[in-house]
Chains A and B, each alone.
Chain A
Amino acid sequence: MKARRLGEILDECLSAYTEGRRSIEESLSLYPSIRDELEPFLRTAVEVADTFGESSPPEHVQERGRQEFLTSASVRQRAKLLTYDLNFGQRMGDFARRRRRLLIVAALAIALAVAGAVAARLETSSNRTNHEAASSSPSPLAPLVGDLRDTQQQLWRRANQGVDVSPEMIRALAKTTTSLDSRVGDFSALDSQARIDLERAIADQYLLLHLIANTQPAPTAPEARRALSITQQVAGSWGIDLPQVPPAASGEAGSQVDETPPSRQPSSATPSPSPDNETPTAGPVTPQSDADSSP
Chain B
Amino acid sequence: MSPNGQAQGDRLIVDAARAGDASALSELYTLYFPRVYRYILARTGNTYDAEDLAEEVFMRVLEAIERFQWREAPFSAWLFRIAHNAVISQRRKETARGRSSQLSEGLAVNSQGPDELVENRLALSDIREAAEKLPEAQRQVIALRFAAGLSVAETARTMGKGEGNVKVIQHKAIVKLREMMGQARPARVYESETAR
List chain A positions with a Cβ less than 8 A from chain B.
3-4, 6-8, 10-11, 15-18, 20-25, 40-41, 43-59, 61-62, 65-66, 68-70, 72-74, 76-77, 80
Contacts and interface: CB of A to CB of B under 8 A. Distances in A.
Nearest to B48: A61
A55 B148 CA distance: 11
Interface in B134-171: 142, 145-147, 149, 151-152, 164, 167-168, 170-171
B2 to A, nearest CB: 11
B187 A40 contact: yes
Contact of A41 (B41, B178, B188): B178
Q: Say what secondary structure dominates the interface of chain A.
A: helix
B62 A57 contact: no
22 contacts: A7-B167, A8-B164, A18-B149, A23-B194, A44-B174, A47-B127, A47-B181, A48-B127, A48-B142, A50-B196, A53-B146, A55-B120, A56-B38, A57-B50, A57-B51, A62-B37, A69-B62, A70-B26, A73-B22, A73-B25, A76-B20, A76-B62
B18 to A, nearest CB: 11
B174 A45 contact: yes
Contacts of B127: 47-48, 51-52
Nearest to B36: A57
B115 to A, nearest CB: 13
Q: Say what secondary structure dominates the interface of chain B.
A: helix
B34 interface: yes
Interface of B: 20, 22, 25-26, 29-30, 33-34, 37-38, 41-42, 50-51, 54-55, 58-59, 62, 107-110, 112, 120, 123-124, 127, 142, 145-147, 149, 151-152, 164, 167-168, 170-172, 174-175, 177-178, 181, 187-188, 190, 193-196
A11 B175 contact: no
A72 B187 contact: no
Nearest to A62: B33
Nearest to B61: A69
A40 B62 contact: no
A57 B32 CA distance: 11
Contacts of B109: 54-56
B110 A58 contact: yes
B195 A20 contact: yes
B22 A70 contact: yes
A46 to B, nearest CB: 8
B190 A4 contact: no
B110 A59 contact: yes
Q: Which of A22, A45, A54, A59 has the most CB of B within 10 A?
A: A54
